[in-house]
Structures are given as C-alpha cells and as structure tokens.
Amino acid sequence: MKLILLGPPGAGKGTQAKRIEEALNIVQLSTGDMLRDEVASGSETGKKAKDLMESGNLVPDDMIIGMISSRIDRDDCKNGFILDGFPRTGPQAKALDELFAEKGMTLRYVIEIVADDEAMVERITGRYTCDECGSGYHDKFQQPKVDGVCDKCGSTAFSRRADDNAETVRARLKAYHEQTEPISSYYSEKGILRKVDGMAGINDVTAEINDIVRS
C-alpha cells in the first residue's frame, strides 16, 4: 500500500507514520529525515539544504524529487510506503504522479492531518528527542518520568531540531499554507483524500487512520 500523510509541521505525521509502518509492515519515507541525514553527513545536498531548512523554507523541488525517485526503488519499499513530508508543492505532486505512472505504482490514500497553527507552535517549540533511541518528549505534554533521563533507554543526552524554534516554525507554517495546503484539493479531486482531526489525542488519530487504511 502506498500512502501520503499531509499536514502542517507538528501535526503528528512522523508519529503516525511510525505507527502505520509497524501496523502495515510498510516503510516510512520522511524527506525531512533524509535531508537531516544529508546535512549531518556534510554532503553537497546537505550543504545546499541546511540554510533553507534552518530558515523554515522549502528546498528546491528537483532536489527532493530526485531523492524520492531513487528511494522508492529500494527493496524495502516493495511492500509499500508512507510518504511523510512529501509532496509539499504542486510540482512535487505532479512529479510524483509521473513517477508512479512510470513505475506502475498506485497511490491508495492521501491522509491529511488537520490542525491549528497556534497549537502547532506550542507543540513544536517544546519537543525534543533522546539522542540514543530517538524517543520523543515535550517540555509540557510528555516529560520523562525521571527528569533528564530517557524512559526507554536511560540516556541523559537529548536534542532539539535546529528548526524547532518559534520564528522558524512560523516560517514553516507559512510555507505550508502557501505551498502545501493547495495540493489537498488536487488529491480531493482525484477522490483519494481523507481528513483526520489532528487536534485529537495521538491514539484517537491512529484509530481514525487505521479505519481509513483498513477500509
């Protein structure tokens, strides 16, 4: 099964994608994670993407389309995949249609997680992850049981994303409304868009998504 998760930054696309990945045995493809790996490795792509990401702007379409095109050819995508953070612009959505047509693939659903901007700013600016195991925490909504110690692996090292500050979050939301939101109607016209309420609790959102992907 091939799915897209749409939604503003902080809506919970990554969290839900990981749950779908386990439930359906398909792979999560996050273009944001791919780009952060490129930045960390110091590659040419990473050097080009770094400043754009840190200012909350989108990286060029051709860079991302090339990355996704080669990624979906890999063996671990044979059973299906969830696109998290891609497509994010009209040209990316059209390029994805062309890639799917070339590769004989079918897009089953586009699931849009709908959420309020102000709540997203609060969610994103408070979030951080364990450096060892990647578990996610939040200053207000999900603190570790013992202050400064990861519940899952006991590590005391945590990080925040460079772009998870209030100013950059506002720029990312602006990019979302201007460039990404319009592609929701593109998929609605194709009859494959489903919306879920991203302001609900994490488990309720998962339940709604499960109902969609199992229908």
Is 153 strand, coil or helix?
coil
Name the residue number minimizing CB distance to ligand AMP: 32
Which positions touch ligand AMP (CB under 6 A)?
Answer: 9, 31-32, 35, 52-53, 56-59, 64, 85-86, 88, 92, 163, 172
Q: CA 69, CA 88: separation in Å to the nearest integer?
A: 15
195 is catalytic: no
Active site residue 194: no
- What is the closest distance, in whole angstroms, from the C-beta atom of residue 142 to ligand AMP in the complex? 19
Number of H helices, E strands in the chain: 9, 8
Q: Which is nearer to ligand AMP, 138 or 151 (CB)?
A: 138
Q: Is the peptide bond before 60 cis (omega within 30 degrees of 0)?
A: no
Instruction: Between 58 and 72, name the residue whose CB sits nearer to ligand AMP.
Output: 58
The two structure tokens encoding residue 162: 């460079």
Chain-centroid distance of CA 97 in Å reads 19
161 catalytic? Reply is: yes
Q: Which residues, listed in sequence order, are joined to residue 29 by a DSSP beta bridge?
A: 83
Catalytic residue from among 48, 161, 170, 195: 161
Active site residue 214: no
* Residues with active-site annotation: 13, 88, 127, 161, 172
